[in-house]
Amino acid sequence: MTPAFTVIVPARLASTRLPNKPLADIHGLPMVVRVAQRAALSNAAQVVVAADSPEIVAACKAHGVNVLLTQSDHPSGSDRLAEASALLGLNAKDMVVNVQGDEPLMDPELINQVAALLHQRPQASMSTAAHEIQEVAEFINPNVVKVVIDQAQIALYFSRAPIPWWRDGFAQGIHSLPSPAPLRHIGIYGYRVDFLQTFPTLSPAPIETGEALEQLRALWHGHKIAVHVTSKAPGPGVDTPEDLARVQAIFKD
């Protein structure tokens, strides 16, 4: 049985590649509403959108979605989550799952699994997810984040580089994948609330700055991240107009 947890969906109106992204129409509903409805199919005790603007608040309320107005100037999504968890009055040991506001096809069962793994790994401050990479092009793509884990499903490192490095197999270039298959990181996170409140106070890490991966800050400061490995690749997220068109077509079908 999945332990009790809250889903928080951070939603920010500003987006350089897709203006007003949370309000983009997906088959008759704003994207942020689609995300919240999808998350509500999980076992979450509550699903709450943490918005940065009155426009998102209005859209959520119009469709019966729980929403909080948070500060507009948060430097990161984790800062917005920390404020939202405080506004909700969550306890230190409660669990929060962060479902990104541009993931309208997020698998509700994956949300449950990320929460369950955090419950099962008391040594971990966070949890996340990954799936096996099947294509060389995906493995070498710096926009695809990879993760290496230990036998207890705890992350050793995240990188945009192709890891783990197959010393002998890659001597002449990367033409095939190592075995076992490398893992692609999926951008969903579970947090214990006490760590969620602590995380924004941690100083940025050099590896975080270089890789442009915020989760490396947790590893740098000695915190553990548990990783659920799923057999299902996630549905496409929405970052660009082309992504939006693809997701709109899926909902239409």
Per-domain boundaries in the chain? 6-252
Whole-number pLDDT of residue 2: 66
Residues 88-113 as b or e (16 or more Cβ within 10 Å = b): bebeeebbbbbbbbbbbbbbbebbbb
Please state the rounded mean pLDDT for residues 62-79. 91
For position 74, what pLDDT does the model report? 85
At 232 the pLDDT is 86
**pLDDT of 192 above 70:** yes
Tell me, which fold does domain 6-252 have in CATH?
Answer: Spore Coat Polysaccharide Biosynthesis Protein SpsA; Chain A (3.90.550)
Least confident stretch, 41-55, 104-118, 135-149, 236-250: 236-250
Identify the pLDDT of residue 162: 97
Is 63:33 a contact under the CB 8 Å cutoff?
yes
Long-range pairs of 215-219 with CB within 8 A, sequence gap ≥ 24: 215/126, 215/128, 215/155, 215/158, 215/189, 216/157, 216/158, 218/125, 218/126, 219/155, 219/157, 219/158
Q: What percent of the chain has pLDDT over 70?
A: 99
Please check the confidence at residue 94 and state whether its pLDDT lies above 70.
yes
Query: pLDDT band at 186, cuts 50/70/90?
Result: very high
Average pLDDT of the chain?
94
Looking up tokens 């709109």 gives: 248
% pLDDT > 90, the chain? 85
Mean pLDDT of all residues in 40-65: 96
Residue 51's H or E segment, with its range, is strand 46-51
Residue 238: pLDDT over 80: yes
